């Protein structure tokens, strides 16, 4: 889109984008919201538990059909495969590993041989949620947790959990115990309704920012570039990279808040504090992503449930191989779950490398300066001598600016001006190399410099 003066932008683009985008978004999600509300009311009825689980599975299948049509069969087949694998592996001690291999084999076969790329990419999010649920259930059962009242979950419970309408489309991942608590039917309340409406409102706001504001942040709203010569400058390329990253971030926040809304409407996300029920499900924390302390902070707050899943079932399992191997293994597992996309794998593996180097460097700096400059905030009783001094804040701010620089670089791959056909099929190797070459591979060079500095400080 050509650059517009701010007044013309406000007069032409906003009315032509905000209303159609909001209308289209609501038109897509209102049937899912109704299915989640129906599941919530069903769980409140005095029905047998098996009927409630069957109703949840049926609602999830209807939601899948609404979004994917006949292609929803592939998600249903994955759910059935995971339930069958769990049933056949009851006598084994490694059910989590069996389910992980079954789900990963199905995802790889589906993407490589069974379904065309565009169709498979549309279902990738739903496939990932089902696979995560199945793997977590298997590992929990191996550890002696996660079963139903009788110890082992029934097939109806497993299918209801995997296909629950509150999470089967957009997520979030939730442990099996949280699903069982939702089926028990926490009481309807004004707090529950407020939480669902608030999350839905924030989801629509993030959708509008991603679609109507972020792509034009520096060309129209804050016109820092626009002339053809300036657009070719290094400065303009970095501004465009930040716009692309910001638009991608808010599209993720849209999905995160929408998943909060659907899960809450279906009855998930409640917790007890001091014997009081609180609807406090959080999937993402946008401020900690856009104003990060560190890349580790970004990774954790980007998707809280998925971060918890990766830490519990991948990182902790691989930690015996060493911290570096566990970190790379965690990001490799995330890349495989997201599908065989070169640019996603490049982003996630680069993110893992950046996060690890940042962790090592900040750990060395914290030891040398005896200050609270670690990747994650220190607890109140930490032994560091310098906790909140002005220079400590300045150092944390500078390292946070480096994290923002890395985010812009990584987000440049999610270009808003890329062809829709290319975006649907997934960006290839040549596209990834071209976009990062335009930014002179700056983030990777900075990461190398940080690693050398960390080694010198040893």
Which residues have CB under 8 Å from 136's CB, separation 6+?
A: 96, 146, 173, 175, 176, 309, 312, 313
Residue 338 annotated among the catalytic residues of the structure: yes
- Give the least confident one: 28-37, 141-150, 283-292: 141-150
CA distance 258 to 244: 21
| Catalytic entry in 65, 66, 311, 338 | 338
Q: How confident is the model at residue 417 (pLDDT cuts 50, 70, 90)?
A: low
Per-residue pLDDT, averaged over 45-70, amounts to 93
Higher pLDDT, 341 or 231: 341
Per-residue pLDDT, averaged over 55-80, amounts to 94
Task: Give the CA dihedral 272, 274, 279, 283, nearest 10 degrees.
Answer: -70
Quickly list DSSP for 309-350. HHIIIIIHHHGGG-HHHHHHHHHHHHHHHT-S-HHHHHHHHH
pLDDT surpasses 60 at 3: no
The pLDDT value recorded for residue 388 is 86
Grouping H, G, I as helix, E, B as strand and the rest as coil, residue 123 is coil
pLDDT tens profile 332-343: 888 888 877 888
Is this model's pTM higher than 0.85 or not? yes
The pLDDT value recorded for residue 425 is 53
Contact 201, 75 (CB under 8 A): no
Which residues have CB under 8 Å from 50's CB, separation 6+?
A: 154, 156
CA distance 298 to 62: 34
pLDDT tens profile 128-166: 999 999 999 999 998 877 655 556 888 999 999 999 999
The pLDDT value recorded for residue 207 is 95
């Amino acid at each position: 889109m050509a650059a517009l003066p701010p007044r013309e932008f406000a007069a032409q683009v906003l009315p032509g984008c905000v209303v159609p985008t909001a209308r289209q978004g609501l038109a897509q999600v209102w049937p899912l919201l109704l299915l989640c509300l129906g599941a919530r009311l069903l769980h409140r009825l005095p029905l047998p538990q098996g009927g409630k689980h069957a109703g949840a599975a049926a609602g999830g299948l209807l939601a899948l059909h609404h979004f994917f049509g006949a292609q929803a069969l592939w998600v249903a087949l994955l759910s059935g495969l995971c339930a069958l694998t769990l049933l056949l592996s009851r006598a084994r001690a490694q059910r989590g590993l069996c389910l992980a291999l079954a789900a990963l084999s199905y995802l790889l076969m589906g993407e490589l041989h069974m379904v065309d790329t565009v169709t498979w990419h549309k279902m990738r999010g739903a496939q990932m949620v089902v696979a995560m649920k199945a793997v977590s259930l298997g590992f929990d059962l191996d550890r002696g947790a996660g079963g139903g009242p009788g110890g082992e979950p029934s097939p109806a419970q497993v299918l209801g959990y995997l296909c629950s309408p509150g999470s089967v489309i957009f997520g979030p991942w939730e442990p099996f115990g949280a699903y069982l608590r939702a089926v028990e039917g926490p009481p309807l309340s004004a707090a529950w309704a407020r939480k669902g409406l608030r999350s839905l409102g924030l989801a629509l706001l993030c959708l509008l920012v991603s679609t109507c504001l972020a792509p034009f942040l520096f060309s129209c709203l804050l016109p820092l570039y626009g002339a053809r010569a300036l657009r070719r400058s290094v400065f303009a390329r970095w501004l465009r990279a930040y716009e692309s990253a910001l638009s991608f971030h808010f599209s993720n926040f849209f999905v995160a808040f929408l998943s909060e809304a659907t899960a809450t409407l279906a009855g998930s996300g409640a917790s007890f504090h001091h014997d009081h029920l609180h609807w406090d499900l959080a999937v993402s924390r946008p401020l900690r992503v856009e104003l990060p302390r560190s890349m580790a902070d970004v990774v954790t707050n980007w998707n809280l449930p998925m971060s918890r899943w990766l830490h519990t079932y991948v990182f902790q399992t691989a930690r015996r191989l060493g911290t570096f191997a566990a970190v790379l293994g965690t990001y490799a597992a995330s890349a495989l779950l997201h599908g065989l996309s070169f640019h996603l794998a490049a982003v996630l593996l680069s993110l893992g490398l950046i996060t690890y180097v940042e962790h090592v460097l900040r750990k060395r700096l914290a030891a040398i300066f005896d200050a609270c400059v670690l990747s994650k905030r220190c607890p109140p009783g930490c032994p560091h001598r310098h906790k909140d001094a002005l220079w400590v804040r300045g150092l944390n701010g500078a390292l946070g600016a480096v994290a923002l620089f890395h985010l812009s670089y990584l987000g440049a791959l999610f270009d808003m001006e890329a062809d829709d056909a290319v975006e649907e099929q997934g960006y290839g190797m040549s596209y990834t190399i071209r976009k990062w070459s335009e930014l002179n591979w700056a983030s990777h060079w900075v990461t190398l410099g940080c690693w050398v500095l960390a080694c010198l400080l040893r």
